[in-house]
Amino acid sequence: MTDRATAHAVRAAIRAPGRRADAHWSDRYLPVAGAAVGGALLLGPFQGLLGELSAPLPPAPPLTVVAGLTLVTAVLAGLLQVAVVAGPLLLTPADARWLLLSPLGRRAVLTPAALRAAAAASAVGGVLGGVTLSLLGMPDHGALRLTATVACGASYALIGVGLAVLAQRSERAARVLRRVAGGAAVLAVLGGEAVTAGVRVRPLPPVPLSALLGVAGAGVLGALVTAVLVGRSLATFPAGPVLEAATRLSAAGDAVVALEPSFLSRVAENAYWRERRPPSRPWPAWPGPLVLAWLDWRGLRRRPARLAVLILSTLVPVLLATAWPDRQLLWAAAVAVLALVAASAGADGVRRETGSPALRRLFGVAGLPADAARLVLPAALAAGSLTGALALLELAEAVPGTGWAWLGPAAAAVPAVAALRMARRGHIDHASTPVVMPMTGTRIPTGWLTWSLSGLDVAVPGLLPLLLALTGAIRPGPAAAAQAALSALVLAAYLRFRRR
């Protein structure tokens, strides 16, 4: 019996100890019949979809093409970073404990995980290839051009995942690949922004079919070479990185089963600081509230990459406004999300200290002065992100009128208050009484509802003048005045509530 057959038999014996590993075909009748019925039902719609995609597609406007390709490239680089962080060779905790360290061949144990990663990469790459084709247009040879574009996306996604598998053997190689992927995303966004900032862009000619087939052939060849290298490396793959990936997968499973998203952020935070040794500094001789705020500022300074990503993310609303100029609500929501994310980056210290007032007791600080001091950093980050994004939208003439940058400082307090509320929400209360809808009888869990709306209940109504201005309902001048008044009201109400 080969190593692969042995590993398959061991998996079958572990997962179904009461059944024979060599089960009869009748034992698998239901899955086979279900797959056949499902395939028959999906065959008709799939053929119709292929017929629609094979029809000639008109190319999008040049600026939309550039912005769309920039976003697709940034998404692909971001997915590569996610693959490097997640594994991508992922085994279940049981397989990692019982099979990985057993005398079974390492290649036989890790081959199913590599195939799952390859299948996921192919699906994601094919979707991105279809998006790219819808932007570039399809003047002729519809089915062939569609196949070549999907093959391009799938093959280059496979190359990225294969490089991530090869880099998983070493922390240094994984760190280098993460930096390369991050640099590619940065260059794509900056290059797309530089092109879209031009006054005029010449119409882009359709991509020749021969060039597209050449790129697809090179991608398929590169994917095959990468697959051979990965297959050879599986026989001597170290167990340590796979065990760490299994631990992260276990934490993700706990977050899904326990319905607790904070487990994932805790794992990411621990993984970040486990690789670093921050230097120690003496505590400053400041009043207690300023010391607590100083901890937040110092924590942000120790993570310069996060600050760089926040600065770069101010370009995303401009790219969205260029790619989809008729969907104001989309990039208006992107501006609001950007402000909320930027403010949340300054509330990490509050999130880590939720439910533990030990630091405030140490310095003898009351809740209100500490909150007032710790609101400064989230408000500054939100103001900077909003000001930068709105100024870029004004420069790109995506929004009418002038004076949009004043909306940034006027709205800064609302994302800061929302970020502190989100940081203090803690774990989800699954023991709460569900709300029963009177007409339908649907049960809505109160714990999930309150956890999800905590912070959004301040951000959405608090940023209403900004959102109305971005969608064209009101002018930026009156919107800035209304936003400043509403921000002052939200801030006063929050501090008054925290005083109790």
- Tens-place pLDDT, residues 313-322: 888 888 888 7
Residue 1 included in any domain: no
Is the domain of 243 the same as that of 306?
A: no
Residue 333 included in any domain: yes
Residue 259 included in any domain: no
Residue 20 included in any domain: no
Is the domain of 411 the same as that of 487?
A: yes
Residue 349 included in any domain: yes
Indicate the pLDDT class of residue 489, thresholds 50, 70 and 90: very high
For residue 182, is pLDDT > 90?
A: no
Is the domain of 68 the same as that of 187?
A: yes
Q: What percent of the chain has pLDDT over 70?
A: 76
Which is more confidently placed, 420 or 283?
Answer: 420
From 254, 277, 300, give the residue that closes a domain: 254
- CB-neighbour burial class of residue 205 (10 A; exposed 0-12, middle 13-18, buried 19+): exposed
Is the domain of 214 the same as that of 317?
A: no
Rounded to the nearest integer, the mean pLDDT of the chain is 78
Is the domain of 250 the same as that of 309?
A: no
Average pLDDT over residues 30-41: 71
Average pLDDT over residues 329-345: 86
Residue 106, token pair as written in the block:
């390492």
Residue 477, token pair as written in the block:
């001048």
The structural domain count of the chain equals: 2
Is the domain of 295 the same as that of 184?
A: no
Query: What's the pLDDT tens digit per position in 224-238?
Result: 999 999 988 888 888
Is the domain of 98 the same as that of 158?
A: yes
Query: What's the pLDDT tens digit per position in 209-267?
Result: 777 788 888 989 999 999 999 988 888 888 888 888 887 777 776 666 666 677 777 77
Is the domain of 324 the same as that of 370?
A: yes
Domain coverage including residue 484 = 288-499
Is the domain of 294 the same as that of 241?
A: no
Is the domain of 246 the same as that of 304?
A: no
Residue 42 included in any domain: no
Query: What's the pLDDT tens digit per position in 79-112?
Result: 888 888 777 888 887 777 778 777 777 888 888 8
> Distance of CA 125 to CAs 3, 66, 153, 236, Å?
31, 19, 4, 28
Residue 80 to residue 161: CA distance in whole angstroms: 7
Residue 5 included in any domain: no
Are the C-beta atoms of 111 and 225 separated by less than 8 Å? no
Is the domain of 305 the same as that of 249?
A: no
Which is more confidently placed, 423 or 15?
Answer: 423
User: What pLDDT sits at residue 473?
Assistant: 84
Is the domain of 209 the same as that of 344?
A: no
Which is more confidently placed, 357 or 127?
Answer: 127
Residue 268 included in any domain: no
